[in-house]
Amino acid sequence: MRKNVTALFIIGFLVILFFTVRAFVDVVKGDWQAPTQVYVEDDDTRLVLITQQINTPFFDAVARGAIEQAEMEGASLEIVGDYSQNEEAFLNHLELAIHAKVDGIIVQGKDTDRFKELTKIKAAFYSIPVITIAEDVPMEESLRRTYVGSDQEEAGRMLANALVSQVDATGSVILLMDQSHPYIQTERLIGIDSVFNKYASLDVVMVESDTSREQIKEATQRLLNLYPDVEAILPLDAAFTEPMIDEITSRMRLSDVRIYSFDDAPDIYPLFNAGKIEALIQQTPEDMGRLSVELVFKWLNGETLPLDFDGYHTPISLIKRADTDAHD
């Protein structure tokens, strides 16, 4: 009897030792990495808002709206992002949220293969609803549930209409675009082209650039050399506006060229208030934050199934320098 007990003890010890060693080998040989951030589990509905532009006026407003709505819904909302707009860190935040199995993800859309892989495969595997906010990606490529934000095509049309009402119909207009052709800029361009195509005599030139400040300034310098009499410049990325204006003012009077832009960059409103931007598309980021949280709950509660794949558009408006001058 004692021999049988001893044998069972030895067998049990060996089994435990085997699985312990096997687990250790799996960790050492695998690609396991310790998480950089822990999502605390509790009984609340857990949502996360992820942006690549944390601590900017635009996304601070998005966060305010989302926090307000989350408190009304009784949800736990975590806001994560990167201060340096590091895309790798941004995508790691998204992947971490997916593996934490949060109840819903609200995220600034990024038109990249890895972003779409994370939302289409990993988030879908865990049945986590993903809502893109402010910037969209194609639904069929990402399987995001819906989009909340401005109608970018309409924003492009509004800005283009403002431009053609203020410049010579036979003048030169420069469009400055990110050379990687992000989806948000492609949408804006569709709206702009729908207006410019009605003016055959308008000389419209597309100039592409990398997103670095130096490359934007070089592209601006190049277009000014080629088109010294350009009447207007419209950057499709608001972040291009400040370095572009900096380069223009180093060569000529800014009053000689009209600048049209969008408002989703940190330095846009100081430039507009200083009279350096002719017209601006003004968005409603707080509305985006509130509505995105509301829609996550409508999906989770089965109130709205499916959500509108075409998205939910928040209000936009056009503000002109001439209007603000009149009030001064």
**Per residue in 211-269, pLDDT tens?**
999 999 999 999 999 999 999 999 999 999 999 999 999 988 888 899 999 999 999 99
Q: CA 55: distance to chain centroid?
A: 14
Query: Per the omega criterion (within 30 degrees of 0), is the bond before 182 cis?
Result: no
Question: What percentage of the chain's residues is helix, strand, coil (to nearest 5)?
Answer: 50, 15, 35
Q: What is the pLDDT of residue 325?
A: 60
Query: Looking at the predicted structure, is the pLDDT value of residue 309 above 70?
Result: yes
H or E stretch including 176? strand 172-178
Length of the chain: 328
Domain ranges (residues) in the chain:
46-150+285-314, 152-282
Which strand ranges, in their side-by-side order, compose the sheet holding 76-81?
76-81, 46-51, 104-107, 130-133, 146-149, 312-313
Question: Given this model, what pLDDT does residue 83 score?
Answer: 72
- The CATH classification number of 46-150+285-314 equals 3.40.50.2300
More confident residue, 52 or 170: 52
Domain at 152-282, CATH class: alpha beta
Between residues 11 and 254, which one has the greater pLDDT? 254
Return the pLDDT at 252. 81
Supply φ then ψ for residue 197, to 5 degrees. Answer: -65, -15
Q: Is the predicted pLDDT of residue 139 greater than 90, yes or no?
A: yes
> Which range is least confidently modeled, 38-42, 204-208, 288-292?
38-42
Output 190 or 167, whichever has higher pLDDT. 190
Looking at per-residue confidence, does 46 or 42 come out higher?
46
What pLDDT, on the 0 to 100 scale, is given for residue 323?
76
Distance CA 97, CA 92 (A): 9
Question: pTM to 2 decimals?
Answer: 0.84
Same fold, 46-150+285-314 and 152-282: yes
The chain-wide mean pLDDT, for the chain, equals 87
